[in-house]
Chain A
């Protein structure tokens, strides 16, 4: 939906993922969306340097989330909310529904 604006389908998926799931780390985002890890890291770094996302280290993991100080955060979230309405329920279930229960170590997806 937002590719013409964002110039990258990966960027759109990553933003929607973070919008629906909150904070996350590159490997989890890549695994959930079926994307290449370095492509995800590249987009996350671009979004962070643009002030859209923040990142913080938690142990050895770098977590990313929406920067609450980004001046267009509310408007961006409204755009992503609208984009979500165009996504099928099946795709939402597959990629964007936050997993609430814990995941046992070593358990496959």
Chain B
């Protein structure tokens, strides 16, 4: 499949697999996980990857150049696709806590590691809690409606982030 024909999910699989073959293990985070967990009910154009180990930016740049992605500021872009790639600094975390269980998607020989639905909801809620990002709140609600999410765990995490009130607000919205 050519890059220009790839969906966000296809592209995430392709890129993470290409990086892994070059020794860079990454996990997909952010809004792109919402796109995948909701089967495109929300479309993100931004693929946020978190390397599992510290990796020099120049190494990532060289690996991505092989598949036509060129560094533009903090992003990497390829003229064949509207999606763009960003790398966030490790460690892989949601708020204050490390991500303990990483989800996986396989397609043929390709492997994509990404946030589980529960961690994806925490990640989106972190944006809502700390930045008042209402779009992120909507994304958290979409994932909860489409996937099995451990709300008890999200509640425990929210309390630890000192955001119990905002979690209860989120839960009220979920019931509507």
Contact = CB atoms under 8 A, between A and B. Distances in A.
A1 B88 CA distance: 29
B93 A71 contact: yes
B97 A51 contact: no
Q: Which size class do B's interface residues fall under?
A: 10 to 19
B110 to A, nearest CB: 28
A28 B28 CA distance: 36
Contact of A69 (B74, B98, B130): B130
Contact of B126 (A49, A51, A69, A74): A69
Contacts of B98: 71
A1 to B, nearest CB: 24
Contacts of B127: 69
Interface of B: 74, 88-89, 91, 93, 95-98, 126-127, 130-131
9 contacts: A50-B89, A51-B88, A68-B130, A69-B126, A71-B91, A71-B95, A71-B96, A71-B97, A71-B98
Which 3 residue pairs of A and B lie closest in terms of their CB atoms, listed nearest first? A71-B93, A51-B89, A68-B130
